[in-house]
Chain A
Amino acid sequence: NAGVTQTPKFRVLKTGQSMTLLCAQDMNHEYMYWYRQDPGMGLRLIHYSVGEGTTAKGEVPDGYNVSRLKKQNFLLGLESAAPSQTSVYFCASQSGVYEQYFGPGTRLTVT
């Protein structure tokens, strides 16, 4: 099993550009999450999904959109990137009420 994978690993955007981050899991988990991690602030939840076709806002959703068209994939979109969105983005998946499994992260820089 590959677990949770994320693409791309690194990306540099100019202000105003758009992009999509892809998360895939092969563990048949119902729940999937997108977090951002900034120095000194820990992991903050952006959006999450409790099943295929469903999404919900987390703690810091502004400027991001998500979609979960297939159970194994969770996409995070930035429609108009801003320097404040420079961060490391992590995807995670969870089965039932058990622990979350994290991907390796995407390092995004917006200039």
Chain B
Amino acid sequence: EDQVTQSPEALRLQEGESSSLNCSYTVSGLRGLFWYRQDPGKGPEFLFTLYSAGEEKEKERLKATLTKKESFLHITAPKPEDSATYLCAVRTQDYKLSFGAGTTVTVRA
């Protein structure tokens, strides 16, 4: 059975304090790993797709990396507007995603 586990559940950071979120997965055949950002009361917003081990993607203060067993979302010098829940998902069949429970990041000014 496909499993996606995110850690930690919650992360409180001071503005400028860099950190990383983890997404570990167990799937029979990875066809893509996705990162989403979700703000309170809103739908998830797409950030990145990673397809193969060693691949990296960057967007502003966020950088996503992928190994054969896990992905990391690095937040460099975060700002309060980076506060959100970050969701990880894996695609194993062409049509469906399996999501982790998310990591809620709070950045204090």
Q: Which residues of A contact B (CB under 8 A)?
A: 4, 31, 33, 40-45, 48, 50, 58, 90, 92, 94, 97-105
Contacts and interface: CB of A to CB of B under 8 A. Distances in A.
Given A42-B99, A97-B94, A98-B49, 11 more contacts: A31-B95, A40-B9, A40-B101, A41-B101, A42-B4, A43-B97, A45-B96, A90-B43, A97-B31, A99-B49, A105-B42
B95 A43 contact: no
Interface of B: 4, 9, 31-32, 34, 36, 41-46, 49, 87, 89, 91, 94-97, 99-102
Given A103-B43, A104-B42, A43 B87 contact: yes
B46 A99 contact: yes
B44 A43 contact: yes
Contact of A102 (B44, B49, B94, B95): B44
Contacts of A100: 34, 46, 97
Given A40-B101, A42-B87, A99-B34, A48 B95 contact: yes
Given A97-B94, A100-B97, A104-B43, A42 B102 contact: yes
